[in-house]
């Protein structure tokens, strides 16, 4: 069954990891997908990988002019958005004693401010039946050393889904949160300095996860597909955790 036939989708942070796997899956399911990210080279590789029904728009979600340029292009080419996957995110490990104002601003600018305006500026193109999916994290409701700022941004994201569900209900737009657990993407490597440290981080996660391994980006994409499609037509305001049980037991 093709679940997203002729749907127009925007995926922020669609050039890598979870966003890229979701873009691939959504195109397989019949959608036309716009992907964004700051690095043009990664976007070019993603477009080549996906191969059809995809367009890349370089941009930083924390920059208003980049978001305006993204949505102006979507409006000119397609005239509407059926699904928005607000997924861009960054993490920097810092314990409370090491947090700087620069680290705080950078993390909140992308994960919270960038996500909020990604949604706000998409709304004029969205109509009844549209679905908004916000990428949070199990870190938003679980304590983890050195994750304080990141986790706070993800708790904010989850909170937005509650408010926006009520604010957008009369327009027929559903808002839900998707919270991955440890998922094997480049963001894991970016949290450490060496390959050995990355392997140790993956091993530590795997040991703590009931299913005994990290998630695959494709497994998060499958949950995004559920929230994007009419299969979730009666699902609103939830947090769907996809974490191999890490934060559930
Ligand atoms: P990833 O492979 O590093 O992908 C992150 C994506 O976001 C990239 O496309 C990146 O492209 C883009 N991005 C980052 N900053 C951006 C900005 N300012 N403007 C526009 N795009 C930006 O990581 P991922 O694991 O797929 O992460 C996707 C989301 O899942 C994030 O929100 C992350 O917090 C969340 N998450 C991940 C995990 C995990 O274990 N992997 C767990 C829980 C939640 P550029 O760098 O080129 O901009």
196-238, pLDDT tens digit by residue?
999 999 999 999 999 999 999 999 999 999 999 999 999 999 9
pLDDT digits (tens, 9 = 90+) for 128-175: 999 999 999 999 999 999 999 999 999 999 999 999 999 999 999 999
Q: Which residue's CA is the nearest one to ligand 1's atom 9?
A: 13
Question: Do residues 214 and 183 make contact, with C-beta atoms less than 8 angstroms apart?
Answer: yes
Centroid of ligand 1 to alpha carbon of 185 (angstroms): 9
End-to-end CA separation in angstroms for the chain: 33
Alpha-carbon distance 35 to 37, whole Å? 7
Match 């399911």 to its residue by tokens: 29
Centroid of ligand 1 to alpha carbon of 16 (angstroms): 7
User: Is residue 110 scored above 90 in pLDDT?
Assistant: yes
Interacting residues of 173 by C-beta distance below 8 A, sequence separation 6+: 123, 126, 127, 128, 129, 130, 131, 132
Fold of 8-180+219-242: Rossmann fold (3.40.50)
Centroid of ligand 1 to alpha carbon of 125 (angstroms): 24
What average pLDDT does the structure give for the chain?
A: 98
Closest Cα to residue 87, out of 152, 49, 34, 125?
34
pLDDT digits (tens, 9 = 90+) for 17-48: 999 999 999 999 999 999 999 999 999 999 99
Give the per-residue pLDDT at 1: 81
- Domain boundaries defined on the chain: 8-180+219-242, 186-214
The pick from 10, 11, 13 for probing ligand 1's pocket by mutation, whose C-beta has the most ligand atoms within 8 angstroms, reads: 13
Alpha-carbon distance 46 to 157, whole Å? 26
Collapsed DSSP state (helix, strand, coil) of residue 192? coil
Q: Which residue's CA is the nearest one to ligand 1's atom 34?
A: 89
| E runs forming strands in 95-238 | 126-135, 174-180
Give the per-residue pLDDT at 56: 99
Q: Which residue's CA is the nearest one to ligand 1's atom 19?
A: 60
Residue 34 known to be catalytic: no
The pick from 187, 227, 247 for probing ligand 1's pocket by mutation, whose C-beta has the most ligand atoms within 8 angstroms, reads: 187
- For the residues 102-111, what does the mean pLDDT come to? 98
């Amino acid at each position: 069954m093709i679940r997203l036939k002729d749907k127009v989708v925007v995926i922020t942070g669609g050039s890598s990891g979870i966003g890229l796997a979701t873009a691939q899956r959504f195109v397989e399911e019949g959608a036309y997908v716009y992907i964004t990210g700051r690095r043009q080279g990664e976007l070019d590789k993603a477009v080549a990988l996906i191969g059809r029904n995809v367009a890349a728009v370089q941009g930083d979600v924390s920059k208003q002019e980049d978001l305006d340029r993204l949505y102006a292009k979507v409006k000119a080419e397609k005239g509407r958005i059926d699904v928005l996957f607000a997924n861009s995110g960054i993490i920097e490990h810092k314990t409370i004693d090491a947090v700087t104002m620069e680290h705080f601003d950078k993390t909140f600018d992308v994960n919270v401010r960038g996500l909020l305006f990604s949604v706000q500026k998409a709304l004029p193109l969205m109509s009844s039946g549209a679905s908004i999916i916000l990428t949070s994290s199990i870190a938003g409701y679980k304590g983890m050393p050195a994750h304080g700022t990141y986790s706070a941004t993800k708790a904010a994201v989850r909170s937005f889904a509650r408010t926006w569900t009520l604010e957008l209900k009369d327009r027929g737009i559903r808002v839900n949160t998707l919270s991955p657990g440890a998922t094997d993407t480049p963001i894991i490597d970016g949290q450490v300095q060496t390959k050995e440290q990355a392997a140790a981080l993956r091993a530590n996660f795997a040991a703590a996860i009931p299913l005994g391994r990290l998630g695959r980006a494709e497994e998060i994409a499958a949950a995004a597909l559920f929230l994007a499609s009419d299969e979730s037509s009666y699902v609103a305001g939830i947090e769907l955790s996809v974490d191999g049980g890490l934060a559930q037991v």
